[in-house]
């Protein structure tokens, strides 16, 4: 079922009643809203005076809702993670932990190939030259030992935003838009991993000691070009600042169509397919990860 994303941008209190999330404005008794928790996929709390009860947090967690907390700069800072989302979670944790180095290298090979393929397709879709990337995504080696991902990035960003663009979290726009989009995507992928009984702290390629969700960073790679497309269109319209409307447009990406081999599903659901295929790979029941491909209309 397609889930809802809820933004909290004003001072409210959040509680739970009869499995409904109750949203009560601080100074408006008549403005109370109730949303079935089973319909919610994401709650993004921006306002710093938001109050939320422990039962509400537990109810959201029990329903595998991504509860994202923003800092004073209105950028996502942390999220609530459910530690018990799957009936076979222990079994899948063991399979994940016991995965061999060759297995992890095979997984990273598929992830890199899928990412570069989508980068190439996006360039073609936008009327740009994706030929070099189309060549790079073929025959990616196990573990991407020759770093085709890095080489592709150098070509991709210059082609997408121009020769003067530099991709960095702290660089000039549209980096701020990309940062926000990737953070929301990361929360969605973390949610998908937990729902599949996997632990996002055990990564394949990403392994920074301060990174709590390296597996989410791994699995989101083929989905990044979808964020890039939204940001590209916004930036071309002159958007450089993050505001409520811009953030809303970026979050809507999670409910846009993604095309797999035989089906088309909203990205939020597509991410669950990808994460489920990873769990099957760890369990030895498949040898192929399931990622969507950007289609050229």
Reported pTM? 0.89
Looking at residue 262, its pLDDT comes to 87
Query: Which fold, 4-80?
Result: Ribosomal Protein L15; Chain: K; domain 2 (3.100.10)
> Tens digit of pLDDT for each residue in 168-220?
988 999 999 999 999 999 999 998 998 888 988 889 987 765 567 899 999 99
Identify the CATH class of 89-283: mainly alpha
**C-alpha span between 267 and 280 (Å, rounded):** 20
Q: Which residues pair with 136 in a beta bridge?
A: none
Looking at residue 86, its pLDDT comes to 62
**C-alpha span between 83 and 190 (Å, rounded):** 12
Spell out the alpha helix ranges (H) of 49-97: 54-62, 89-97
Helix (H) or strand (E) holding 273: helix 267-283
Looking at residue 28, its pLDDT comes to 72
Looking at residue 76, its pLDDT comes to 82
Looking at residue 145, its pLDDT comes to 95
From residue 20, alpha-carbon distances to 39, 145, 188, 261, 274 in Å are 10, 49, 22, 37, 29
Burial of 198 (0-12, 13-18, 19+ CB in 10 A): buried
Averaged pLDDT score across all residues of the chain:
91
Domain parsing of the chain, residue ranges: 4-80, 89-283
User: Would 4-80 and 89-283 be classified into the same CATH topology?
Assistant: no
Looking at residue 79, its pLDDT comes to 85
**C-alpha span between 227 and 243 (Å, rounded):** 17
């Amino acid at each position: 079922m397609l889930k809802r994303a809820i933004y909290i941008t004003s001072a409210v209190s959040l509680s739970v009643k009869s499995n409904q999330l109750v949203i009560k404005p601080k100074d408006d008794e008549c403005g109370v809203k109730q949303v079935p928790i089973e319909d919610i996929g994401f709650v993004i709390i921006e306002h710093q005076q938001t109050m939320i009860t422990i039962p509400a947090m537990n109810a959201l967690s029990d329903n595998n809702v991504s509860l994202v907390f923003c800092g004073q700069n209105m950028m996502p800072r942390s999220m609530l993670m459910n530690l018990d989302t799957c009936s076979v979670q222990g079994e899948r944790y063991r399979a994940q932990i016991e995965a061999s180095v060759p297995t992890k290298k095979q997984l990273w090979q598929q992830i890199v190939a899928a990412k570069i393929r989508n980068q190439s397709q996006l360039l073609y879709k936008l009327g740009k030259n994706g030929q070099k990337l189309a060549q790079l995504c073929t025959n990616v080696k196990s573990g991407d030992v020759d770093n085709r991902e890095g080489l592709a990035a150098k070509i991709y960003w210059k082609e997408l935003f121009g020769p003067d663009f530099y991709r960095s979290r702290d660089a000039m726009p549209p980096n701020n838009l990309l940062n926000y989009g990737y953070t929301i995507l990361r929360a969605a992928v973390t949610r998908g991993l937990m729902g599949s009984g996997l632990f996002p702290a055990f990564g394949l390629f990403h392994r920074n000691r301060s990174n709590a969700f390296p597996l989410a960073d791994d699995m989101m790679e083929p989905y990044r070009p979808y964020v890039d497309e939204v940001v590209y269109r916004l930036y071309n319209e002159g958007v450089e600042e993050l505001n409520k409307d811009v953030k809303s447009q970026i979050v809507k990406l999670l409910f846009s169509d993604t095309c797999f081999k035989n089906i088309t599903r909203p990205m939020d659901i597509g991410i669950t397919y990808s994460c489920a295929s990873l769990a099957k790979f760890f369990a030895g029941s498949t040898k192929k990860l399931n990622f969507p491909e950007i289609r050229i209309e």
